[in-house]
Amino acid sequence: MSLIVAKFGGTSVASPERIQMVAKRLIAKRQAGDQVVAVVSAMGKTTDELIGLAAAVNDNPPAREMDRLLSTGEQVSMTLLAMAIESKGYKAMSFTGRQAGIETDGMHAKAKIIKVHNERIMDALNRGYIPVVAGFQGIDPNGDMTTLGRGGSDTTAVAVAWGIGADVCEIYSDVDGVYTADPRVCPRAKKLDAISYDDMLELSAAGAGVLQMRAVEFARKWGVVIHSRSAFSDAEGTYIKEDPAMEEAVITGIAHDTSEVKITLRQVPDMTGVAAKLFSGLAADMVSVDMIIQNISEDGFTDISFTCPKADLDRARNTLERIVPELNAREYVVDTNIAKVSLVGTGMKSSPGVAALAFSTLGENNINILAISTSPIRLSVVVEQSQATEAVRCLHHAFGLDSDSIFEETQLSAEEIAAKMAKGR
């Protein structure tokens, strides 16, 4: 008998018919002898609709009241799912984040979980109920409702799995696992049977939308095994775990992200403290900076570029309108027509030639690189948005990630990458 946490996203519970399907899946697990706890997101586009309602009555609604409002979406889906389970002859009990013991800090709209009190969930399990927990929400030390930010139900599920000592946290969505690239962009992408926490974290940070990055961070910290799988089939998905026996491919996957902008400050005086003042100001205004590029100084001036989410652009503009004159920079320029393409793989740490093969591949396909950023297991490049799809496809092929109609190629080894470079490809 296994103890399972099963999380279902908004598309999985978007209608009464789909909620009935989820109820059947949960009951099937019980019939197989497992104990199961469900975590649910709001139905379909409910959260967006609630945000629209708030905007209709207040242009700048208080954060506390927004959290109260947005938390109701998950409470609707949790109670409907509990009702659906009961209608099929099994006992179910729904829990809000507060009732489930999800304790958070006091940061509204993006609270962090600090503790999980598991008593009520465990009691329900021991009495034969299927607990159904509202994702995305918790309670702060003042007793106020908080929400965890977009995709927060994934984090709730992982936290509950850790809190009750579950064997696995199954995260159901409309995709059937983690692929070597987005299959909508790269039709020859392969589904991975397993992936390490580190590789999944980098893919999530680089734009892969399968799992929320915070959920993977939580899972890695506490050793929670995640199984990413489809809500619409019984096929095995992808396990996210730390397994020493897992073979480390040089490149595990390729992610792309079109949600960022590139901002360049022109003719910035090349003086001590300039970068500190710029990025301190952006941080103070809650602008998340990703890649940073500073050109070589010429005649005492330099250009500084950085990327940030489009969602932060207005705040970044406000900061720059104030700081650019203080820095005596000439101007700042915003480029919204960019995409970030990232190669991820734990095997990159000990494999020379990855960057050379990537750059030569992009060059042969006439794809211009606007910026570069690296970590021990990630290589990211910024390209024009119109070239993102071609960049993903040609890199996917160059590193041997393509699936084949007759057989599936294996990822290139370090030796094969070196051999490719030696032959000039």
**E strand or H helix at 257:** strand 253-257
Residue recorded with tokens 């005086």: 269
* 402 & 365 share domain: yes
* 25 & 49 share domain: yes
* 154 & 20 share domain: yes
* 397 & 309 share domain: no
Q: Is the pLDDT of residue 425 over 80?
A: no
Q: Is the pLDDT of residue 408 over 50?
A: no
pLDDT digits (tens, 9 = 90+) for 314-371: 999 999 999 999 999 999 999 999 999 999 998 888 788 899 999 999 999 999 999 9
pLDDT value for 398: 95
Asked if residue 220 is part of any domain, the answer here is no
Asked if residue 13 is part of any domain, the answer here is yes
Asked if residue 252 is part of any domain, the answer here is no
**Identity of residue 313:** L
DSSP 289: -
Whether the CB-CB separation of 304 and 282 falls below 8 Å is answered with no
* 270 & 369 share domain: no
CATH number at residue 74: 3.40.1160.10
Find the range with the poorest average confidence among 57-66, 128-137, 168-177, 411-420. 411-420
pLDDT value for 410: 52
pLDDT digits (tens, 9 = 90+) for 83-118: 999 999 999 999 999 999 999 999 999 899 999 999
Band of residue 407 on the pLDDT scale cut at 50, 70, 90: very low
* 371 & 277 share domain: no
pLDDT value for 186: 94
Alpha-carbon span 425 to 417, nearest angstrom: 9
pLDDT digits (tens, 9 = 90+) for 256-309: 999 999 999 999 999 999 999 999 999 999 999 999 988 888 889 999 999 999
Asked if residue 195 is part of any domain, the answer here is no
Mean pLDDT of 124-140: 97
Band of residue 1 on the pLDDT scale cut at 50, 70, 90: confident
Mean of per-residue pLDDT scores for the chain: 92
What percent of the chain lies above the pLDDT cut of 70? 94
For 40, the domain range is 3-174
pLDDT value for 277: 95
Band of residue 41 on the pLDDT scale cut at 50, 70, 90: very high
pLDDT value for 351: 81
* 20 & 66 share domain: yes
DSSP letters for 164-232: HT-SEEEEEESS-S-BSS-TTT-TT--B-SEE-HHHHHHHHHTT--SS-HHHHHHHHHHT--EEEEETT
Asked if residue 387 is part of any domain, the answer here is yes
* 108 & 42 share domain: yes
* 325 & 387 share domain: no
Asked if residue 251 is part of any domain, the answer here is no
Mean pLDDT of 217-240: 95
Alpha-carbon span 122 to 160, nearest angstrom: 11
Alpha-carbon span 179 to 182, nearest angstrom: 6
Domain end residue (candidates: 159, 174, 189) = 174
pLDDT value for 294: 87
Q: Is the pLDDT of residue 162 over 90?
A: yes
Domain count along the chain: 3
pLDDT value for 414: 67
Q: Is the pLDDT of residue 6 over 80?
A: yes
pLDDT value for 405: 37
Domain end residue (candidates: 130, 158, 174) = 174
* 123 & 166 share domain: yes
Q: Print the SS3 string covering 358-421.
A: HHHHHHHCCCCCCEEEEECCEEEEEEEHHHHHHHHHHHHHHCCCCECCCCECCCCCHHHHHHHH
pLDDT value for 348: 86
* 18 & 152 share domain: yes
Band of residue 403 on the pLDDT scale cut at 50, 70, 90: confident
Asked if residue 323 is part of any domain, the answer here is yes
CATH number at residue 361: 3.30.2130.10
Domain end residue (candidates: 119, 139, 174) = 174
Mean pLDDT of 237-258: 84
pLDDT value for 267: 94
- Residue 206 C-alpha from the chain's centroid: 8
CATH number at residue 267: 3.30.70.260
Cα-Cα-Cα-Cα dihedral sign, residues 20, 25, 30, 31: positive
pLDDT digits (tens, 9 = 90+) for 177-194: 999 999 999 999 999 999
pLDDT value for 417: 66
* 36 & 109 share domain: yes
